[in-house]
Structures are given as C-alpha cells and as structure tokens.
Amino acid sequence: MDRRNNTHVSDFILMGLTESEEIQLVLCIIFLIIYLISVLGNTGMILIIHLDLQLHTPMYFFLSHLSFLDLTYSTAITPKTLQNLLTSMKHISYISCFTQMYFFIFLGTTECLLLSSMAYDRYVAICNPLHYPVVMSKRLCCSLIFGVYFIGFTESIANVLFISRLDFCDSNVIHHFFCDTSPILDLSCTDTHGVEIMIFILAGSTLMISLITISVSYLSILATVLKITSTSGKRKAFSTCASHLLGVTIFYGTTIFTYLKPRKSYTLGKDQVASVFYTIVIPMLNPLIYSLRNKEVKNALIRLRQKRQDFRQLK
C-alpha cells in the first residue's frame, strides 16, 4: 500500500519517434505494411509447418515456435505504436505499460534462448547425423521448448516486479515508442542502481549462455564442414545453417548494441532506431529469411497448393 501511495503516476505518455505529423504519417504507413507482412509471413510459416507432414522435424518444430514468438512480439508492440502515430492520444495506463514490458522481456528472452536451441539442433544434424533422430527426440525438443519458455517467463516476471516497485512521482513522459526498461527507469524518483544491476545480470547471463551455446555449436559445425572433401557436401552443410546464422546475427547484433551497455550511454536516436529494428522489422524478416532461402519450405508450399487443387477437382 505504501508503494502505491508513493507512486503518483496512474498512466504514462509515449512520446514516440517524432513530433512531426508528416513523418508520423509516413512511419505509420511503413510500420503498417511491415506489420501486415510480419503477421502473414509468420502465420503462413506456422500453417505450412503444421499442415505438411514432411516438415514435422525438430528443425521446423523450433522454427514454428520462432514464428509464433515473432508474431506475438510484433503484436505486443506495433498496434499501440500505430495508434500513437495516428492519434494525438499517446497515453498508456500503468498496468498496460507494464504488461507490454512483460511481454517484451518474456518474448525477447525466449527467442534468445530458442535461437541457441536451434543452433544445437543444427550442430547435431551436421556433426552427428546418424544419431540425429535419437538425440533430437520429441521428448528432448519439447523439454527444450518448455525450458526456454519457462526461463523467459521467470526472467520477465522478475524484471517487471522489481521495476514496478520503484516510485514514479516526477514525470510520466516516456521518451520512446513503447514501454522499454531504460526509459521507464529514467522516470523513477528513487534509486534504481540495484534494479539496474539485477537487470544487467539476468539479461547478461541469458545472452552469454545463449551466445556460448551458439558459438560452440557453429565452431563444431565449421570444424566438421572443413573435413568434408566434396564441394557439394560443404555447400549443402553451409546452406542448412545460413538462414539461422543470418537470423542470429541480426537479432543479437541489435540486442547487444541496445542493452549490454551502461544505461547512462542510452542515446535517444540511435537506440530508438535499434528498437524499431528488433521489435518491428526483425519479426518480418525471420519468415522471409527462413522461407526464401529454404527449398523444403518452398516445396512444402507447392505440395499444399497441389493438394488444394486436387481437392477442388474432387468436388
């Protein structure tokens, strides 16, 4: 009760990316197009993997969850951003703000760990192909998925609980387009040093564990591929990892740039651009990266179209 009485803020104001109405309109159109592509791409990827039996493998099992995370990720951020760009009402309630923050941290952490699980899957497929069906069993895949979701849930709950205990009594203006941790901490009129250390330890440990898993997996893959004598064999091995490696580079590059640095070095322009990239653009890019460069997904789409045509002919 004391904490609530000291917290004089009942809602926040999201200042967004710009105050220019012309630029807001342009950004609204761009973000809307990106969001629609993201929804269609990720939903399509989930449906293709679910409907085509040949894609019922560990790799595509993880990929379907990645598409689900990206779909939810963009939906947690983009609609509110579009609303703020279109209207003059930029208010967001206290509960809504922390709910958005919860989903942002939960989905980001889960995707981070999911990418490391996908790297391990590629390691087993290339370095130990004969035992791949045994090692990457359905039980292990489900355990990995449960683990990444559970860690994401736990970390996000811890972050939101600690930040929500802070007092906000001076200003309610968030200089960002969504409820991110750094802009929220800037509004607190109490000491945030302990919370910042906790956030850094949780986020840093998650990133380090994930990066170590990915690095070890790909170093082992590289060592195995270099032993392959045929050029076609090397090309095939690299092609199975290229999409995932590209996705990992984009995701971790923007995440590390934005969060693994002191909060005092937070710069409005650069960090907002990075935030737009990993909250709005990356959820659109992932289905494109994993489908346009993937012959199995293309073939699955052709098979589904053929089945639909055959079904129509039977009618």
Is residue 2, in this structure, part of any structural domain at all?
no
Is residue 313, in this structure, part of any structural domain at all?
no
Q: For residue 7, is pLDDT > 70?
A: no
158 token code pair: 């811890």
Is residue 50, in this structure, part of any structural domain at all?
yes
Q: For residue 255, is pLDDT > 50?
A: yes
Is residue 40, in this structure, part of any structural domain at all?
yes
User: How many angstroms separate the first and last alpha carbons of the chain?
Assistant: 66
Helix (H, G, I), strand (E, B) or coil at 13: strand
CA–CA separation, 264 and 60 (whole Å): 41
Q: For residue 38, is pLDDT > 70?
A: yes
Alpha helices, DSSP H only, in the chain?
2-6, 21-51, 58-86, 94-127, 132-135, 138-164, 181-187, 193-227, 231-259, 268-276, 282-292, 295-314
CA–CA separation, 7 and 188 (whole Å): 9
- Predicted local confidence at residue 4, as pLDDT: 44
Is residue 129, in this structure, part of any structural domain at all?
yes
- The whole domain housing 239 covers 11-261+268-308
Number of domains comprising the chain: 1
Which of 70-79, 85-94, 268-277 ranks highest by mean pLDDT? 70-79
Distances (CA, A) of 275 to 270, 272, 285: 9, 5, 15
pTM of the model: 0.88
Q: What is the pLDDT of residues 122-177, one digit of tens each?
A: 999 999 989 999 999 999 999 999 999 999 999 999 999 999 888 887 788 888 88
Q: What is the pLDDT of residues 46-86, one digit of tens each?
A: 999 998 888 899 999 999 999 999 999 999 999 999 998 88
Is residue 1, in this structure, part of any structural domain at all?
no
Is residue 4, in this structure, part of any structural domain at all?
no
Whichever domain contains 223, its CATH number is 1.20.1070.10
Neighbours of 237 (CB within 10 A): 21
Is residue 3, in this structure, part of any structural domain at all?
no
